[in-house]
Amino acid sequence: MDILEDDDIYFFTPLRECFQKNYFETRKIFIAAEQFSNRTNEAMFYYLSEILDEIYSLYGTKNNKEVNKIIGNIETIFLGIQGYTLLTAIGIIEKKYKEINFCKDDIYRIVTTLKKELNEINFSDDFQWCLPRLSKANKEIITKANISIKKAFFDLLQCFSLNFSFNEEDWHYEIDFNKSPLKNKLYIEKFSKLIGNNYKIARAILYDVFKKRMSHFHGSIGDLRDALDHIARSLFLDAEDAIEELICADEHIRRATVESLQECILTLLSKKYSVKLHSNCEISNQELMEKIAQIEKNISIARYIKGSKTWFTALNFFYKALDDTERLGEKNANDTT
């Protein structure tokens, strides 16, 4: 087994400490909030991807001050995820139970108190508050806000006589905080490829699909969350088991990427096809059907290879199909007829 020197793993130890302190608490809150809603949304995608972005930014950073700053950013995002997740759940609880007039007085009291406390510490519920690169003052505000938010959430649970149980042994999957794969060269290489290459590609595509194309495939958020689960667990296992966790994380990143892109194309194609057949299209229906057939062919090729090690090649076919779909119904610029 190849053993690495400390200089080769300069940021892994603080990253591991950060995850031990913050990640499992964050995941516990996810599970608690899912009692009321498993809804995912655009903001959660940004939270999860920002953590992966910050991990990626650690590469090439050997300055201790800069490493500590990035680790601080990650901690801030974890705090943000905790607060946002519980705030979302509290909003759902308030709306749901007000509609059926159940424990209305208790709900009003708890939520009113929470809003007052958040206002007193100048807390904003805009989802941007938890993104990284914030000042120390911002982090202090988030920390104080989370104390009030957590108390309100668990007070609401008590209102409805709901008991929240969290079996840490089941969740940790034999995790031992005394174990570490960080001296294993193969683990570090796989971690570097996962974050430095595969996630880098996936990130560009996911941002394109979510932001530019305005398409929201909620399954990708779950896959990013699961990828982080595997990365977190890998930090607290022996090398062999840790490498298996990274392989699983890589699969979730692959799935988040190709499934989001595929869903974006199919949704857009369905809308375009319907609109073009019932409007003044610049091309004939025969030409339209020929173009759709070519798009479907590229989608079919991409789908065939998306689950293999050649899934990066599938992206080319998906993007060809996406570009053609966006131009569907437009007359060819070179066509003079």
Residue type, 270: S
Residue 292: the pLDDT is 86
Residue type, 303: R
Query: Which residue stretches of the chain have pLDDT < 70?
Result: 1-9, 36-44, 60, 100-103, 124-137, 162-177, 211-219, 273-284, 329-337
pLDDT in tens, 80-112: 888 888 888 888 877 777 776 666 788 888 888
Residue 249: the pLDDT is 94
Residue 158: the pLDDT is 80
Residue 330: the pLDDT is 64
Q: Up-side HSE of residue 280: CA atoms within 13 Å toward CB?
A: 0
**Residues 203 and 52: beta-carbon distance below 8 Å:** yes
Task: Supply angle C-alpha 115, 120, 122, rounded to 5.
Answer: 95
* Structure-token match 């608690």, residue found: 32
Q: Up-side HSE of residue 59: CA atoms within 13 Å toward CB?
A: 14
Residue 3: the pLDDT is 44
Alpha-carbon distances of 289 from 270, 282, 286, rounded to whole Å: 13, 13, 5
DSSP per-residue string spanning 242-293:
HHHHHHHHHHHHHHHHHHHHHHHHHHHHHHHHHHHHTS--SS-HHHHHHHHH
Distance CA 79, CA 77 (A): 5
Where in the chain are the domains? 6-166, 185-326
pTM for the structure as a whole? 0.78
Q: Dihedral (C-alpha) 3, 5, 7, 9: value to the nearest 10 degrees?
A: 30
Residue 263: the pLDDT is 86
